């Protein structure tokens, strides 16, 4: 028995630290939910209400598409309801009739410009940055609004999102859409995306910090001032990045800009995946690059496990009341944070938040699988390989 005492003491200490960190994260998320920039269509603030009509006339909506005929129609129908200067769509060598769907929905709209020249990404470029760069080259608006095919904007959302730049004093803003999930993994893992930045960052400081670790972005719905985009070298600066949206925000901040995330749950919805299998393919194509290195990824997953999985284990399997109590406190703190984020952003809150330890465990498994597939050279997306950027293909000189 004496030999188990140090182990029990270490376990109790771990549970105590986990509870403190979980509580700190929840307190931070509650603060962030009060201050996070947000907007609703047609409700621009007093500071921008007199300019809102001007925003619509200076907005270029940019939509990159590759084999999206099966799901892009709702996105296109929503774009028709936006007040904007132009809608530029790039059909990136689709083989499924995507361009025909675009013409069918928006063909009569004089704002539409459809690019279908069949150019492939040059060496050193990944497909998404190449498509976005080509769209930006064609745009004439002072505000660029990048939208993904799985995003459906509310009427007036593009203009309201553009007004967020003035409201928040940002150069780039990513209004995070309300996520629509499918499958068990979808319900477990998708909510972690928004929960993570609301829990781990101090948003007002992160938006103005130039530290790379504080950069957050979301290419599903990304709004940027044209001068800031050009000053950061745009998507050319992130041409080899798998997670190009975060890298673009980082490039803007490195160039002296300000920006980050916003609550876009009233502006847009996004259904990224229709099944658990799609989710696995989507996450594993990029998670290997999300943390910078394999050791950093292992450390991050381990830290999440200690803070958010260990308390549940202590609650369920603690050998004594002390361990079970500490576990209950840490688990409750985590669940409260998940509930708060879900309630504010229109996600499923109950019983999904109760499965937070399972969410963290599933995420860790996806990280491991992503590294496994990357080592085996098996990662592909939309028929193209997902490759590390060649040496020397970093941000271009300006």
Residue by residue, DSSP assigns 110-147 as TTEEEE---PPPPTT--HHHHHHHHHHHH---SEEEEE
Tally of domains in the chain: 2
Residue 209 within any structural domain of the chain: yes
Enumerate residues 6+ apart whose C-beta is below 8 A from 283: 189, 366, 370
Question: What percent of the chain is predicted at pLDDT more than 90?
Answer: 81
User: For residue 47, is pLDDT > 70?
Assistant: no
- Domain of 46 in residue numbering reads as 40-273
Q: Give the pTM.
A: 0.90
Phi, psi at 152, each rounded to 5°:
-120, 115
Are 299 and 266 part of one and the same domain? no
Are 300 and 374 part of one and the same domain? yes
Are 132 and 205 part of one and the same domain? yes
The pLDDT score that the predictor gives to residue 2 is 54
Q: Provide the CB-side half-sphere exposure for 12 (13 A, CA).
A: 12
Residue 389 within any structural domain of the chain: no
CATH (domain of 165):
3.90.550.10
Which of 48-52, 177-181, 368-372 is predicted least confidently? 48-52
Phi, psi at 255, each rounded to 5°:
-80, 5
Residue 368 within any structural domain of the chain: yes
Are 184 and 162 part of one and the same domain? yes
Are 29 and 45 part of one and the same domain? no
Across residues 254-283, what is the average pLDDT? 95
Are 69 and 187 part of one and the same domain? yes
Choosing from 273, 296, 317, the residue where a domain stops is 273
The pLDDT score that the predictor gives to residue 119 is 87
User: For residue 242, is pLDDT > 80?
Assistant: yes
CA distance 174 to 145: 10
Residue 103 within any structural domain of the chain: yes
Are 26 and 60 part of one and the same domain? no
């Amino acid at each position: 028995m004496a030999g188990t005492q140090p182990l029990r003491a270490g376990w109790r200490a771990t549970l105590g630290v986990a509870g403190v960190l979980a509580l700190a994260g929840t307190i931070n998320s509650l603060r962030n939910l009060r201050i996070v920039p947000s907007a609703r269509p047609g409700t621009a603030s007093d500071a921008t209400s007199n300019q809102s009509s001007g925003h619509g006339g200076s907005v270029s909506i940019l939509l990159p598409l590759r084999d999206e005929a099966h799901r892009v129609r709702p996105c296109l129908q929503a774009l028709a309801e936006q007040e904007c200067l132009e809608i530029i769509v790039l059909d990136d060598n689709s083989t499924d009739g995507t361009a025909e769907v675009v013409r069918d929905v928006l063909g009569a709209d004089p704002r539409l410009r459809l690019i279908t020249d069949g150019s492939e990404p040059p060496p050193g470029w990944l497909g998404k940055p190449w498509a976005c760069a080509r769209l930006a080259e064609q745009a004439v608006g002072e505000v660029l609004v990048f939208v993904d095919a799985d995003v459906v904007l509310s009427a007036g959302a593009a203009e309201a999102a553009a007004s967020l730049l003035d409201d928040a004093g940002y150069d780039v803003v990513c209004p995070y859409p309300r996520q629509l999930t499918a499958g068990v993994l979808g319900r477990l893992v998708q909510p972690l995306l928004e929960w993570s930045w609301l829990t781990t960052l101090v948003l007002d400081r992160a938006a103005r910090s130039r530290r790379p670790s504080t950069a957050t972005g979301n290419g599903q719905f990304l709004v940027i001032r044209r001068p800031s985009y050009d000053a950061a070298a745009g998507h050319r600066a992130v041409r080899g990045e798998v997670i190009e949206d975060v890298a673009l925000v980082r490039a803007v901040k490195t160039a002296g800009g300000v920006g980050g995330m916003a609550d876009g749950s009233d502006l847009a919805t996004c259904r990224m995946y229709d099944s658990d299998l799609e989710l696995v393919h989507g996450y594993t194509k990029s998670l290997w690059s999300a943390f910078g290195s394999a050791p950093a990824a292992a450390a991050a997953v381990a830290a999440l496990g200690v803070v958010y999985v260990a308390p549940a284990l202590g609650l369920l399997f603690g050998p004594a009341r002390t361990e079970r109590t500490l576990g209950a406190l840490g688990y409750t703190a985590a669940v409260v944070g998940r509930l708060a984020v879900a309630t504010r952003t229109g996600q499923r809150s109950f019983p999904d938040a109760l499965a937070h330890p399972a969410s963290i465990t599933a995420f860790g498994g996806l990280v491991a699988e992503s590294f496994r597939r990357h080592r085996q050279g098996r990662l592909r997306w939309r028929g193209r390989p997902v490759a590390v950027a060649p040496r020397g293909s970093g941000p271009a000189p300006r």
